[in-house]
Amino acid sequence: MFTAVSNAIEAERVLYPGSFVDISPSFVFDSAVYVDSDKRAKKFFADEEGVLQIIAEHEEAPDEPDLTFLHADYTSKLDLPDQDVDLLISLFAGFVSDHCTEHLRIGGTLLVNGSHGDAGLVSIDPRYDLEAVVIARAGEYRVSTANLDTYLVPKKSQEVTRERILASGRGIAYRVPAFAYLFTRTD
């Protein structure tokens, strides 16, 4: 998926809150900051040589990947500058967009999936515009900008509100679901 995303957007520096041990962004992006509060993630990233070895096994990997791990709760203030990254990743890890958008540069991209409700939250966040979707088929991923208005339409006719999404902590069932969504931060 990250290969497809990296071909579709301009990004060098990535922030991945709730990454656990998913270092696949570093297979294609030059610089990444991973954040997780789990002790097992801390232990995994402490083995720097092992992590670099996994990355080096990938054909497209940068020659000298730049990697940082923060053992932190992303809902607290992270020790990172504002507007520091080009790509913010929110996959299966809660309301990342709600807590970490300040670190994404304006014009940068948020990659978010429907799980845990973050895509729903972003769909009503005025700081973001939907730019593309990631479609997964038979293990292949592609980024599409076709028929964007058909996505993020709930199956049930219900008002999508911030309060409702935060209270449920679950994704919304959409008529046409995508594997993930690419939003641009506009404000």
Ligand X SMILES: C[S@@+](CC[C@H](N)C(=O)[O-])C[C@H]1O[C@@H](n2cnc3c(N)ncnc32)[C@H](O)[C@@H]1O
Query: Which residues here bind ligand X, judged by CB under 6 A?
Result: 17-20, 22, 35-38, 41, 73-75, 91-94
CB of 74 to ligand X, least distance (A): 4
> What is the distance between the terminal CA atoms of the chain, rounded to a whole angstrom?
26
CB of 40 to ligand X, least distance (A): 8
Instruction: Give the nearer residue to ligand X in terms of CB position, either 75 or 154.
Output: 75
105 is written with which tokens?
């540069």
CB of 87 to ligand X, least distance (A): 14
Closest to 152 measured CA to CA, from 166, 137, 167, 165: 165
Give the residue closest to ligand X by C-beta: 18
Instruction: Give the nearer residue to ligand X in terms of CB position, either 39 or 156.
Output: 39
Cβ neighbour number for residue 41 with a 10 Å cutoff:
20
Task: Give me the helix-helix angle, 48-56 and 39-46, nearest 10°.
Answer: 80
Instruction: Give the nearer residue to ligand X in terms of CB position, either 21 or 61.
Output: 21
Report the alpha-carbon distance of residue 103 to residue 85 in Å, rounded. Answer: 6
CB of 24 to ligand X, least distance (A): 9
